[in-house]
Structure 1
Amino acid sequence: MSIYLSNYWTLYKEFVETFSHLKFREIPIVLLTNFYQQIDSELKMKMEEENFHLNINAAQLDQEKIQPYFEKWLEKIRESWMVKPKEGKVLINADYTRIPEQTYMNKFDPGQTLILSRSKGSHIYGIPCENMGKYVEVNHEESDKLVKEATNLFESFTTHLAFGNEFFQQTFIKRIPQIVNTLGMVFNLFEKQEISSIVVGTTEDMQSRALSIVGSSKGIRSVCLQHGILMGEEAFMPVFTNIVGVYGDYEKNWYAKRGLSKERVAELGHPKFDEIFMDTATEKVDLIKKYGLDPNKQTLLVITGPQLDVLRFEALMDGILNESNFQIIIKPHPWEMGKKKYGMYLELEEKYDSLQVYTARDNHLYELLSHSDGVVSSLSTVALESILFNKPVFIFNFLKSNRHYDYFDILGEYIQEDPTKLTEVIKNYYHASEHRAIYHSIRNRFIADSYIDGHSGQKLADLINKKG
């Protein structure tokens, strides 16, 4: 573990132990807050210092003890789902699951499935839909009591580097009413609906976490799909569901190193990837016409991400486009689009005739991937999707980060921190068949450890329908 992560988990442990007596309906509310979101940049910098742990009043939480530690708290809540599975419907939380329409329509029985959504419609893809607002319970009295207790407790930690941090305090305190209302909503839902299983797309969000935790108290088994490649450890640990679905062996080993037992890992892939294995409806000639591309040039799709080193990214674009054989489409990350942080890319579009920025809100990612000649990507799930499309993938690791991400390390020279070296790798691939042969050998080794095969929707349905 990096110094930051070691301090993060130990501080998280101290936070749980200090605030665990604050409960709503016997659920410790500290389990509902997304802890890493309480840490501002100032505190994060301090946590990257080697001696920060001397300020934490808890024993160090080693990597292999992460899940076992949180299990101790969850076991106090959980009713065993393995002894006698409950009867009822499968509840799918629409937020973040990203299950495609075809999977809903072909793999889930409308009579045995319920979608929890923000939609006001009665059905989604022919499956009955419940609006989450219908079950909301506002409990001002309980919220106010917990806010007061938390505020008083924080006042006794004025010199604590984390608990005395105003952002840390206010983020948690402001969340308490939302935590209480969300837990109340979930309890109401389970009291009015007979549910046997829950499917969520992540437990980063409060609603999915509440569904998993409260569901476990009622013996309802839960499955969390993997919402992206394992980058930020804090977004995937601890595990609050009974089962996590994973993409491949990398993830299976990753969870094992953090103390999750192997029987709680399901080899699913993800239903959203099933579409990659279906025939695309468009032809490359249509893409060329749609985007005004030159059919005689190699089209590279560039996938960006937040917190990139601007100078290295610009150097990479300059290096590629110094050769007239290439043209580029830049697709900014959704976060960059939402925050309007893509001005740098528009400046490059002004500079180069062979570069354009895709800023449309409609989602045509798979169309772009299927017809590009190669993908130049940040460390992202799109890089994985590109590999599944059997496209040459060149990864730039230009992140400013407090840790090393090793997910794509197997790709060898096809992942680089130096823009000049990556430019050379890209040009070698298109100029020499021996370089293409090397890449495809590496790509095949990478895919061999994956469970993504176009049948993830069926695997998920089989897992849910499994008795016991």
Structure 2
Amino acid sequence: MDRFEQNYWGLFADFLEGFKEWTYNGHPLAFGIHFYSLLKDRVDLERNLLHPSYIKTGRGGQKVVDAYLPDYEWKNTKGKVVFYDKLLRIPSSVYPVLVPLSESILLKSDVTNIRSTPVQGMEMVGLIGNKANGEESVRKVEKSFSAIATRFHSHPLFGKKNVHTQVKKQISKYMKYLNAAEHFFEKTEVSLLIMGETNSLDTRSLAMTARKKGIPTICLQHGAIVSSFGYLPKIAIYQGVYGLYEQAFYQSAGVDARYLPIIGHPRFDGITSNQHMNPSLFYKQTQTDRKRKRLLIVDHHTDKSKNLKIIDGLLKKVPETELILKIQKGSQAYNHYAKHPRVHIVTRMNLEDLLSYSDAVISYESTVVLEALLAGKRTFVWKLNQAGLTDYFSKLPVERYIDVGELVDDVVTYINEGKQTHVPTEEVRKSFYIPERSSSTLLLKALIQNIRSKAD
């Protein structure tokens, strides 16, 4: 944990302490604020968080957070397993393996515009619309916040009026989700809630309400821990993790290992399976030449400049190699490659299929790197430039680059050598994922059964 992270979590601890009296229907509202967003565009405060003289260092940690969380008492309840579909990323075919569909519910934020469930035979329910906020309650909560905030008029964060405005906008939405969650759990008997994250307003409200009602919760790890801000604090009772690295990460923050089951993620089970897209269909959909080598370039990041330089360099230096671009957002940045015969842009194809037909992978520091290594692919990674990053990628067996020119040169050398480098997937799994012959789906199923059996 670097200085920025230590000071950030110290500041968050100050927020929990300063606003511990700010509650709504038994819920501590300080947990309903997306705290990291309050620092956005506050360059002066970010600079302080990096400065050695800033005095918040060492004041964070899960134990500090736990002191402000409501007490949790496991209640004897028989009911359905609820999957909240936000960053959950469980393949539709996996749900009936985990729990009989008659005993499960797929909960979505809103089902207004959804005509059919993505999981045939599974009940689907919308969270929003269950219960609305009362304007009087919102005003009362906002007034309470303002009264407490006056104590911190000289604070570099809590004393700023624009921060107060952001908090009030967020808390109105959070109260809406709290009311909806309360109503949902009142009318639905639930034995277990499973989520993909707990850091957004809706997922946090569900996790906190379930905790209040004594309903056990599992949060799956939704991606590589590039930064701690998307994964701490732990709010769910059980935080599923990919491997030993993540378990140690949470333990170092003060989380008990008993609540950190190593289960991987069901969506990765397909990476090592042989059930990939038919070769003829793959080459037809990607319009690639099966006789040429293929480089997969993954772009799920907002910074397009590095990938543009990488593409230009590769087109010049490896003329017989095809480039497949997997783009999540901002595909217009690559419009001038749209008609290039060796550049193939894909947006909807499964990553597992793309990995299985690629000779190497180029990515920024993201979960894709782990997926590529699990698929046994040589991977070249360009480094992110931001504060608060973990040491995750420095421990993986990958080449990492600040200079994309060096990245291109190494990729060219690899391609021209004409031989595939063995990627030590077993070594990767020892620290970063479940063993090769293990199934994440079955590990999650066993965890679900174990938790539900305690309610019998």
Return the match for 2:335 from 342, 346, 351. 346
- Give the corresponding residue for 1:80: 73
Taking the aligned partners of 2:268 and 2:397, their CA distance within structure 1 comes to: 24
Taking the aligned partners of 1:248 and 1:284, their CA distance within structure 2 comes to: 32
Contact 2:130-2:184 at 8 Å conserved across structures:
yes
- Give the corresponding residue for 1:135: 130
1:370 pairs with 2:370: no
Return the match for 1:462 from 442, 446, 453. 446
Contact 2:227-2:388 at 8 Å conserved across structures:
no
1:89-128 aligned within 5 A: 89-117=80-108, 118-119=110-111, 124-128=119-123
- Give the corresponding residue for 1:50: 51
Return the match for 1:390 from 357, 376, 397. 376
For each residue in 1:318-349, what CA deviation from the matched residue of structure 2 results, as whole angstroms up to 9, or x when unmatched? 332212132212222x3xx1xx4x44433455
- Partner SS for 1:68: helix
Note the C-alpha offset of 1:315: 3.8
1:451 pairs with 2:439: no
The amino acid of 1:430's aligned partner reads I
The amino acid of 1:46's aligned partner reads R
- Give the corresponding residue for 2:319: 324
Q: 1:158 to 1:460 in 2, by over 3 A?
A: same
- Identify unmatched segments of 5+ residues in structure 1: none
Taking the aligned partners of 1:243 and 1:79, their CA distance within structure 2 comes to: 12
Taking the aligned partners of 1:68 and 1:50, their CA distance within structure 2 comes to: 25
Q: 1:456 to 1:175 in 2, by over 3 A?
A: same
Note the C-alpha offset of 1:145: 0.5
The amino acid of 2:103's aligned partner reads Q
Q: What is the root-mean-square deviation of aligned Cα atoms in Å?
A: 2.5
- Partner SS for 1:41: coil
Q: 1:356 to 1:14 in 2, by over 3 A?
A: same
Contact 1:79-1:217 at 8 Å conserved across structures:
yes
Taking the aligned partners of 1:413 and 1:70, their CA distance within structure 2 comes to: 35
Note the C-alpha offset of 1:4: 1.8
- Identify unmatched segments of 5+ residues in structure 2: none
The amino acid of 1:19's aligned partner reads F
- Partner SS for 1:100: coil
Contact 2:227-2:389 at 8 Å conserved across structures:
no
Larger mean CA deviation between 93-102 and 45-54 belongs to 45-54
Taking the aligned partners of 1:106 and 1:229, their CA distance within structure 2 comes to: 25
Q: 1:325 to 1:375 in 2, by over 3 A?
A: same
Taking the aligned partners of 1:370 and 1:85, their CA distance within structure 2 comes to: 46
1:77-226 aligned within 5 A: 77-81=70-74, 85-117=76-108, 118-119=110-111, 124-226=119-221
Taking the aligned partners of 2:173 and 2:435, their CA distance within structure 1 comes to: 36
Note the C-alpha offset of 1:281: 4.9
1:32 pairs with 2:35: no
Q: Higher helix share goes to which structure?
A: 1
Note the C-alpha offset of 1:98: 1.3
- Give the corresponding residue for 2:393: 408
Runs of 4+ in 1 over 6 A off after TM superposition: none
Note the C-alpha offset of 1:227: 0.6
State, as a whole percentage, how many aligned pairs show the same letter: 24
Aligned length: 444
Larger mean CA deviation between 31-40 and 240-249 belongs to 31-40
1:421 pairs with 2:406: yes
The amino acid of 1:440's aligned partner reads V
Taking the aligned partners of 1:436 and 1:363, their CA distance within structure 2 comes to: 24
Contact 2:3-2:57 at 8 Å conserved across structures:
no
For each residue in 1:180-235, what CA deviation from the matched residue of structure 2 results, as whole angstroms up to 9, or x when unmatched? 22111111112111111110110012222122112112221110000110012111
Note the C-alpha offset of 1:377: 0.9
For each residue in 1:76-101, what CA deviation from the matched residue of structure 2 results, as whole angstroms up to 9, or x when unmatched? x22322xx643222111122211111
Taking the aligned partners of 1:264 and 1:109, their CA distance within structure 2 comes to: 25
Contact 2:228-2:389 at 8 Å conserved across structures:
no
1:237-256 aligned within 5 A: 237-256=232-251
The amino acid of 2:426's aligned partner reads N
